[in-house]
Amino acid sequence: MAKGRWPVRTNTWPIPGYKGYWIKTCPSSAPRPFIHPAGAKFGKTWPDGMYVYVHAESGFADIIAIEVCCNNQNFNDKRSRYTPTSGNVQMTLPIGWLESDLTIQKGRKRKAWEASGWFAKKPTADLTLTIRHLRALFVLTDADYSTFGANHLPAGHEYFCRHRDLNQITRQEMQAFVKSMALMHHFRVRP
């Protein structure tokens, strides 16, 4: 992912009735949060990029995983990790990540757990949560993007862009695309 362009903390994907921010968890220099099958110690997935919104009181999280794919085989491998039929999936937020410093507005630093707005008190151990809603953004080469678009239908949780689009996050059309990944876009919006 393009470092420095995608925000560390955002409200881009609002969730009505909940407070707090979406936090970029990957890439990270701290122990990175990961996705895994429920109860498994094997088969961990560390996306190239990941935003997380935790509902600490309810024990679940919403995730947007970003996978940069260098070729079709790599894309198919990464895509298989996010297939809805793969069963109950969880994510773990290591305590080392929760206690790491995030740079937020105007260079201020806050611990990840504080900056998120998810917790009433400081967590003291790794936090494992059930994934409630997962979306995956696959970043493809121009050739793979064209081939996939002409020959396949994406699943409801899948989004696609080209490599060059990833660095264009500040452009208006890319902002509109990214905002379309909000959970609320699955529902009819009432005025």
* Mean pLDDT estimate for the chain: 87
- The beta strands (E) that lie in the chain are given as 9-10, 22-26, 34-37, 49-55, 60-68, 89-93, 101-103, 109-111, 127-140, 158-162
Rounded to an integer, what distance in angstroms lies between the CA atom of residue 91 and that of residue 130?
A: 6
pLDDT of 100-125, one tens digit each? 999 888 889 999 999 999 999 999 99
180 vs 141: CA distance, rounded Å: 21
- Highest mean pLDDT pick, 84-88, 147-151, 187-191: 147-151
Please, which residues bridge with residue 66 across strands? 49, 137
Whether a cis peptide bond, with omega within 30° of 0, leads into 191 is no
pLDDT in tens, 66-85: 999 999 999 999 998 887 65
| Among 7, 57, 17, CA closest to 187 | 17
